[in-house]
């Protein structure tokens, strides 16, 4: 096995188990509903995580340029993992749930904020976007595995075991982090010409807004439609993303970057714009599949373009992309929760879809 393949495999394993821990907590809004709280409360709890991520991501990027990226990942994955079991002690909207969300926000920023830089460090220039797409698709696969496993555990043994299992999976990611490839330390961190990357960061913000509104609020929305197991959405969403990097990426790239992004955006926005017309499991599968194809292509390719713009500070560049994406997640957590509490889930989904259309103007500026 070549050194590149071995290093990439280690990155995949560490990232996969880190994201299994994270993705099981996608069901945290269901736990909040289980405790008798409202959609607005969901927005506050999930928003606390996003605010923390936004505050710490730039620091994670700077630290990872100064010290070993491996150490930053291990510390981040450990914080996410160690906080998870304590959700079993949460009984309502008190300080504990917000402390846990803050700790995990710091951990997520440290680990996820630099994963893309690991891939660019070990990959040849011609294979970087493809390998980043593969890593993204594998990470997205945890969005099906984690919630599906979580739903089974919740129904079979309850929420406490659900949280303990998520922590155990995260611990595997921490151990794998010790085998990650090292990275050179920067003598100094050059100033970034931010204007060059602003369109990409703005596109990531809108992408995060649309993604967050779907992934966070689809599980409680499905409860209102009599579907108490949300794993069908996540499995279909992941299937779409895997289709992209199995065979759809070639015709998409053949169409040209801008055309591929436009096609992907349209596919992604079918879900929120069509939710008001949602009827049964068949339409859920079709809409989630389209959403997965669109998102599965947009995220890694936009991320790769930003890393290409700032080749000397990839950790910091990757952190800026994830920062912008999580700013969008914060907007969706707070805004979507408030809108859905006032006018219902269907209206809130439709609003997020209309907002997503603004990404068309940004895509046309990307070169």
What is the structure's pLDDT at 193?
Answer: 63
The reply to whether 186 falls in a domain is: no
What is the structure's pLDDT at 194?
Answer: 67
Task: Quote the CA–CA distance of 353 and 310 in Å, as a whole number.
Answer: 31
The reply to whether 323 falls in a domain is: yes
Q: Determine the structural domain holding residue 172 and report its residue range.
A: 3-180+196-363
The reply to whether 108 falls in a domain is: yes
124: left (phi over 0), alpha (psi -120 to 50) or beta: beta
68 pLDDT exceeds 50?
yes
Q: What is the pTM of this model?
A: 0.77
Nearest to 100 by CA among 153, 32, 188: 32
The reply to whether 188 falls in a domain is: no
The reply to whether 12 falls in a domain is: yes
pLDDT digits (tens, 9 = 90+) for 15-51: 999 999 999 998 888 888 888 877 778 878 888 888 8
Domain count for the chain, please give it: 1
The reply to whether 122 falls in a domain is: yes
Query: In this structure, what CATH number is given to the domain that contains residue 80?
Result: 1.20.1250.20
Report, as an integer, the average pLDDT of 276-305.
88
The reply to whether 52 falls in a domain is: yes
Task: Quote the CA–CA distance of 363 and 255 in Å, as a whole number.
Answer: 14
The reply to whether 350 falls in a domain is: yes
pLDDT digits (tens, 9 = 90+) for 308-321: 777 777 777 878 88
């Amino acid at each position: 096995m070549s050194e590149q393949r071995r290093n990439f495999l280690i990155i995949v394993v560490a990232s996969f188990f880190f994201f299994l821990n994270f993705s099981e907590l996608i069901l945290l809004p269901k736990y909040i509903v289980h405790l008798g709280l409202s959609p607005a409360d969901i927005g506050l709890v999930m928003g606390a995580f996003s605010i923390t991520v936004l505050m710490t991501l730039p620091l994670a990027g700077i630290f990872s340029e100064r010290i070993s990226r491996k150490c930053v990942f291990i510390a981040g994955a450990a914080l996410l993992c160690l906080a998870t079991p304590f959700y079993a002690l949460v009984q309502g909207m008190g300080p504990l749930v917000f402390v846990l969300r803050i700790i995990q926000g710091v951990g997520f920023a440290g680990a996820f904020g630099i994963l893309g830089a690991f891939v660019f460090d070990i990959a040849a220039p011609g294979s970087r976007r493809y390998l980043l797409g593969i890593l993204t698709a594998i990470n997205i696969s945890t969005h099906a595995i984690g919630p599906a496993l979580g739903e089974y555990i919740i129904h079979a043994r309850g929420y406490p075991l659900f949280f303990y299992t998520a922590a155990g999976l995260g611990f595997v990611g921490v151990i794998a982090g010790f085998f990650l490839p090292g990275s050179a330390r920067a003598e100094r961190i050059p100033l970034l010409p931010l204007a060059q990357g602003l369109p990409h960061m703005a596109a990531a913000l809108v992408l995060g807004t649309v993604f967050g509104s779907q992934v966070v609020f689809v599980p409680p929305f499905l409860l209102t439609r009599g579907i108490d197991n949300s794993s069908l959405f996540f499995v279909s969403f992941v299937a779409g993303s895997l289709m992209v990097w199995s065979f759809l990426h070639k015709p998409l790239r053949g169409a040209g970057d801008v055309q591929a992004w436009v096609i992907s955006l349209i596919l992604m926005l079918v879900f929120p714009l069509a939710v008001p017309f949602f009827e049964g499991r068949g339409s859920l599968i079709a809409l989630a599949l389209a959403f997965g194809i669109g998102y599965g292509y947009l995220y890694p390719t936009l991320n790769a373009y930003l890393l290409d713009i700032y080749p000397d500070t990839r950790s910091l560049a990757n952190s800026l992309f994830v920062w912008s994406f999580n700013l969008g997640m914060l907007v969706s957590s707070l805004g979507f929760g408030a809108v859905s509490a006032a006018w219902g889930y269907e209206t809130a989904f439709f609003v997020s879809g209309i907002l997503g259309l603004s990404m068309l103007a940004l895509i046309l500026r990307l070169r």
